[in-house]
Structure 1
């Protein structure tokens, strides 16, 4: 027996030592990789900034969901870092121009429009922008249309076709498996529940979608018209006929300037910067050229806090690319109590989510305002439903012209599994109750009329609370808010006309407004929350390999359909009432 325990002890000790050694090897490797990831790339004379932008573009650096187990991950610059990189290149004598190769950018129209405006400004320096792609997704073409020369591969395609909004509907598949939903919603246009109760869009949903898509399409036509020298009417005709699907038509109609192979274009690029035909072009990658952690930061003057609220609003701490109420309430309280913070700019890029979590964040922001610190909201691509709820307390709200906002409404969807359990599986439930509501809202039993009445009343009360919050923040009558609410989605330009936002402008304009309200002349900004480093993500993946592997497998199997799965999962995971934007938009963006 003593020998057994001796061997057992030796085995455990050996395992412990092995794990200890592996831990330090992993930590050491991660530390080295982290250090490598934060090193700047030297820039030599006659360099060209190479922009592909074919990855997701978050608002906050590295704020994207990943599951890759990459041992040498590249940092993902946030939108505002990309803008600063382009601004830096504009004034950098070593950067002679920009080479764009954006085949399939994965970003919203508003995000691409913000980058495009920075490229338009870059051109005022006199430096060149060349664009090339074998296939231009519409977002890639929209961005590239700013270039001095837009080129296409001989067998290429320009996916110029206009906008659409994609709504997945699940009622039939739920019927087939025996699952029904009891749905309660407040707001005539609040269509987030439609996928569970319909197989097609309602007319109110179609009306609001036509309105905001039409306005965004108008903005895109005007932007491309200005740089390509084509009228908006001509561009509309080219979209209607899908002329860009044929490379010769794309050239003859003026969508592109040249049909050419990439290597031939590189020869032209060499001539542009004065290189011999056999010399290599020094392409500088965006991530290597600009690292916000290494840039000189002006810490002089007073501090304006830039709080980034990006992703679905959820209960609890939340994960990467989510707005967890516990995390954000704590952050807001810290900013309120930090005497060095003189004003707060809340950057909202969120379709909403949990009504309860949204309300907790709203209360924290109200407390911050009560402390006397100005609160300014800057809206990104989307600030709708719960995203608008948390924006409502602001002293001043700025939106981009193409921001999707509003959607002031509430929805509850309760699954009912009776048919699935009884008819499909053969499981039956029975109960004894001391009162009509003693079993709670139980998906194993048919919902009583009394339970339905309670949930209907609670949903309506939450809607009235939403109206009240907006009424207080916007200094509007509740009836005035209700007339533009009803769950309706608005685009930024219209939202300004109806009083849901104060001004059209970007993040810089919001920061300037916050400084004005706080009477600041000398100030700097600090971003919250702190961006998660890639090695932190890697460590989390190693600690939770099952979750990471599941995400990798789903993304691999579902491909372009993964966002639809993720949308359905987020809706299903939502606890309680939801303030959520109901759709996914498509158009090559």
Structure 2
């Protein structure tokens, strides 16, 4: 027996030592690989072309990680590209004498309409420099065509297609499912148009929700048509006729109706580019992708100036704590704004908000820091695809609010959800509950029974208190009365254009415009842009990317049904009182 334990402990010790060695070897390998893959400067040859495919998910702020898109121990690391990087590189290419033009090779763009509009605006500025833009795609989604329409020439593969049929949004309702399961969703809300919880409590849209979504979509579609009309020289009425009859369904019809300039294979487009570049061999065209061009040295405007403009990025749902790059954690974002406020070298702050809202309490924490910062230096909010409810709450104290025409904003309202799962537990599972309490409301918020009339009244009072605080913040920030803020509120959503007309937004534009306006307000012409919060270290980013593997496996496994899984999974974020946008409004 003694020998047995001796050999057993020796084996365990050997195994542990081996695992320790393997761990350190693995960490050394990863660190060495990271060092080897550090960005090295790229030299651009004369008569080069910037090649934009935009086939990755576009987020507001790119991550600085060399392993994007790689498989690591069988797990694919998430691949994204930052809007900030796209805009910066288009601006850099505009002034680069070695870049003759841009080749847009687009099919599907994984970004919201507001993000696409900002890229389109940057390409429009690039085009004004006199350099060419040529677009090609085997097929094009509506967003891809909207972006490509800024190009000098658009070509599609002979067997390709162009999707141009107008906008559609479809909401999913779960009330029937909850009824079958014996779950009652008890909703308390403030705002006639506050429809965030409708998918849980109804089987179809309310008249108020249908009205506001229709108004938003019509405003968005009109802005898309206006942009295409201006660049393609086709009247808006004619574009609507083309969409209604789906006259883009084949390349021939798209060409006949002026949506594109030619039907070509990719090699034929490359031949066209070679003639533009006065090159004899199309195979020798220098196409520079976005990743490589990001490593091209560029003159740094204001490099010697001590002046800084801090761009604080807030993306995703708002929640207490640290959050992540795709979640607005109140502690992390509040600290970033505070850091920019205290730093005397920072002359202005641009707060980039791309959020449907979330926790009302977390929104209040961030709102306070924005308010304090706006008292001592210019604070300009740049709204992304969506900045509503809690997203508007944290934007309200800014000195200037800039939104895109396609931005989904407003939704100034509050709600709370308490599920009554008594029927599910009792009837479906045969589980019952009993309790002992010392005071009347000790079991308030219990999910094992329905709310009493008094409990519902208490919750309505709390929801009303928070809504009143919300509209008071809006009134103070927009310099209007509380009554006016209430009229603009009630949970109603608006497009960026509508919000500007109503005074909830000051100007239309993207992130670049917001930075320029911040510099003007600070009275500076030379400055450097610094981004906050500080990026997480390499290993933290690697770990967070690998955590997302489960979601990608689920997405690949269930395909289009993933959106339903995601919606149900998001219910767990509905803890506490919420200032959140209507549920998953996706316009295609």
Give the TM-score taking structure 2 as reference length.
Answer: 0.92
> Does the CA-based 8 Å contact 2:68-2:78 persist in structure 1?
no
Structure 2 match to 1:139: 143
Structure 2 match to 1:487: 491
Classify the secondary structure of the residue corresponding to 2:358. strand
Structure 2 match to 1:60: 61
> Does the CA-based 8 Å contact 1:69-1:541 persist in structure 2?
no
Structure 1 match to 2:43: 42
Matched, 1:550 2:550: yes
Q: Distance in 1 between matches of 2:356 and 2:304?
A: 33
Cα RMSD for the two superposed structures: 2.6
Which of 306, 318, 322 is 2:323 aligned to? 318
CA offsets 1:90-129 (integer angstroms, 9 cap, x no match) = 2222222221111010111111111112212222233222
- Residue 67 of structure 1 deviates from its aligned partner by 10
Structure 2 match to 1:340: 345
Q: Distance in 2 between matches of 1:541 and 1:46?
A: 37
Structure 2 match to 1:300: 305
Unaligned runs of 5+ in 2: none
> Does the CA-based 8 Å contact 2:41-2:297 persist in structure 1?
no
Counterparts in 2 of 1:563 and 1:532: CA distance versus 1, 3 Å: farther
Counterparts in 2 of 1:67 and 1:449: CA distance versus 1, 3 Å: farther
- Residue 474 of structure 1 deviates from its aligned partner by 1.6
Structure 1 match to 2:112: 108
Counterparts in 2 of 1:587 and 1:188: CA distance versus 1, 3 Å: closer
Q: Distance in 2 between matches of 1:291 and 1:57?
A: 19
Matched, 1:286 2:290: yes
Counterparts in 2 of 1:452 and 1:150: CA distance versus 1, 3 Å: same
Structure 2 match to 1:360: 365
- Residue 6 of structure 1 deviates from its aligned partner by 6.7
Q: Give the stretch that moved more between structures: 432-441 or 340-349.
A: 432-441
- Residue 14 of structure 1 deviates from its aligned partner by 4.4
Q: Distance in 2 between matches of 1:522 and 1:541?
A: 36
Classify the secondary structure of the residue corresponding to 1:165. coil
Structure 2 match to 1:87: 91
Q: Distance in 2 between matches of 1:295 and 1:74?
A: 31
Matched, 1:455 2:459: yes
Which of 504, 510, 514 is 2:508 aligned to? 504
Q: Distance in 2 between matches of 1:73 and 1:40?
A: 24
> Does the CA-based 8 Å contact 1:139-1:587 persist in structure 2?
no
Give the TM-score taking structure 1 as reference length.
Answer: 0.92
> Does the CA-based 8 Å contact 1:418-1:443 persist in structure 2?
yes
- Residue 286 of structure 1 deviates from its aligned partner by 0.7
Structure 2 match to 1:327: 332
Q: Give the stretch that moved more between structures: 20-29 or 282-291.
A: 20-29
- Residue 446 of structure 1 deviates from its aligned partner by 2.1
CA offsets 1:193-235 (integer angstroms, 9 cap, x no match) = 1011111111111111111211111111111111111111111
- Residue 354 of structure 1 deviates from its aligned partner by 1.0
> Does the CA-based 8 Å contact 2:77-2:545 persist in structure 1?
no
Q: Distance in 2 between matches of 1:440 and 1:13?
A: 55
> Does the CA-based 8 Å contact 1:40-1:294 persist in structure 2?
no
Structure 1 match to 2:482: 478
> Does the CA-based 8 Å contact 1:170-1:196 persist in structure 2?
yes
Unaligned runs of 5+ in 1: none
Counterparts in 2 of 1:486 and 1:22: CA distance versus 1, 3 Å: same
> Does the CA-based 8 Å contact 2:186-2:419 persist in structure 1?
yes
Q: Distance in 2 between matches of 1:120 and 1:186?
A: 42
- Residue 35 of structure 1 deviates from its aligned partner by 4.5
> Does the CA-based 8 Å contact 2:305-2:526 persist in structure 1?
yes
Structure 1 match to 2:218: 214
Structure 2 match to 1:70: 71
Structure 2 match to 1:173: 177
Counterparts in 2 of 1:577 and 1:556: CA distance versus 1, 3 Å: same
- Residue 499 of structure 1 deviates from its aligned partner by 1.6
CA offsets 1:138-178 (integer angstroms, 9 cap, x no match) = 00111111122211111211101122233221111111222
Q: Give the stretch that moved more between structures: 194-203 or 523-532.
A: 523-532
Within-5 A mapping of 1:213-232: 213-232=217-236
> For this pair of structures, how many residues does the alignment match?
582
Q: Distance in 2 between matches of 1:540 and 1:24?
A: 21
Structure 2 match to 1:579: 579
Counterparts in 2 of 1:576 and 1:192: CA distance versus 1, 3 Å: same
Q: Give the stretch that moved more between structures: 68-77 or 465-474.
A: 68-77
Counterparts in 2 of 1:423 and 1:73: CA distance versus 1, 3 Å: closer
Q: Give the stretch that moved more between structures: 416-425 or 361-370.
A: 361-370
Structure 2 match to 1:200: 204
Q: Give the stretch that moved more between structures: 521-530 or 294-303.
A: 294-303
Classify the secondary structure of the residue corresponding to 1:308. strand
